Structure 1
């Protein structure tokens, strides 16, 4: 036996990253926690540092959504590109553009991040055949993401259209957009905020439709999965 043979052996196990050690398949609880934290942050303040904090939370949300959903390698590569490009574009915008223009760019980037995360999460949830606490957390995460996506979309529209976004003439900020988005998504319709222009009104109406369709489809999917699971268990018990 040569010295080379003596030194050769099984390769040492690769050390997993911090995220890999803390998250597993379908571990959507952490994703939901990040989204709730972002929601609370915007509810408390609309300062620039809060916008940056929420943006970082969105980046982590997308990264964790991909890790816990276990998508195809091609999807993983696409998400990596989205994360890198989003970080670079946002940093350049914050450093070189006026505050209003930078907010518009940041909202546009957030739209891309949230839409990507939404597709990844829904793809995993709809492929599951069992209803678990984690799948419910994933469904809640998707619902929150829809509201956050439209809030950012309203921010983009405010940046590119002349005049105030709201009919009251009040200056808009991330907090007011988040409030307006979720009252629209849940069809509460308080009426204290209304889009001034028809493009904004059309998007708000579309968001309300998306919210209702999402809930109807999601509930039907979860009930079907639960019913299928129950039918699979009952024959096993009858055989016993």
Structure 2
């Protein structure tokens, strides 16, 4: 019988730390322009997730190569002091793509597991936060390419604001102090709210079904 790994030794703790660092770097940005440093941390986070989530070796190697190329390109542009509209849009879109791939890899890992334990719970938390980060950069891309203020003239189109709005929408908290003004952003917000609720329902169902199997197995 394989010995069960203690929860404190789960690699998902490291993933959560990287996500927290990435979140903090985004929250500190008072403008809409993505940070190259934050993007490098995001790439490192996704690279670790591909390993922790036990993605197929071939896909993992391809992912690491793509991430390495993106990281080298980002570091090069930062060292050269390059900046501009197109670079900001590329960074924002790449961040959204990275935060789309990462939770999908984690969710696939949870589904493949034959039991629900503390590590599966940490994985679900990580995936949930990553979904919120994904929608944050969707709003960021929209803000960069749109000529209309995302949340009206009284709210700055900063990553800080977008991050706050994304997570209040994902959790359906809805304080009401930040409201999207365009039909496109409103549609994305609706999609995020639905995604957040479906994620919680599916996660709870997975935990309950896994716990039931463990209980029945123990009783048998």
Select the residue among 182, 185, 189 that pairs with 1:200: 185
Residue 167 in structure 1 maps to residue 152 in structure 2:
yes
Q: 1 CA distance for matches of 2:28 and 2:180?
A: 23
**After the TM superposition, which residues 1-240 of structure 1 pair with which residues of structure 2 at under 5 Å, given as runs?**
27-46=11-30, 51-88=35-72, 90-91=74-75, 95-98=81-84, 100-235=85-220
- Which structure has the larger Rg over C-alpha atoms? 1
> SS state of the match for residue 35, structure 2?
helix
- Whether contact under 8 Å (1:111, 1:152) holds in the other structure is yes
TM-score, with length taken from structure 1 = 0.79
Question: Shift in Å at residue 153 of structure 1?
Answer: 0.6
User: Could you tell me whether the CA contact under 8 Å between 1:26 and 1:68 is conserved in 2?
Assistant: no
Deviations 1:1-59 (A, max 9, x none): xxxxxxxxxxxxxxxxxxxxxxxx96211101111222233334447999333222211
5+ residue gaps, structure 1: 1-24, 236-240
Query: Structure 1: how far apart are the matches of 2:36 and 2:119?
Result: 28
- Across the aligned residues of Structure 1 and Structure 2, the Cα RMSD in angstroms comes to 2.4
What is the alpha-carbon distance in structure 2 between the residues aligned to residue 50 and residue 199 of structure 1?
21
Q: What is aligned with 1:15? A: none
CA distance in 1, matches of 2:194, 2:106: 20
Equivalent residues, number: 210
Corresponding residue of 2:5: none
CA-CA distance at 1:169 after TM superposition: 4.2
The 3 A distance-change label for structure 1 pair 49 and 34 is: farther
Q: Which has the higher contact order (CA 8 A, sep 6+)?
A: 2
- How far, CA to CA, are the matches of 1:113 and 1:176 in structure 2? 20
Structure 2 CA distance for partners of 1:89 and 1:159, relative to 1, 3 Å: farther
Query: What's the CA shift for 1:229?
Result: 1.1
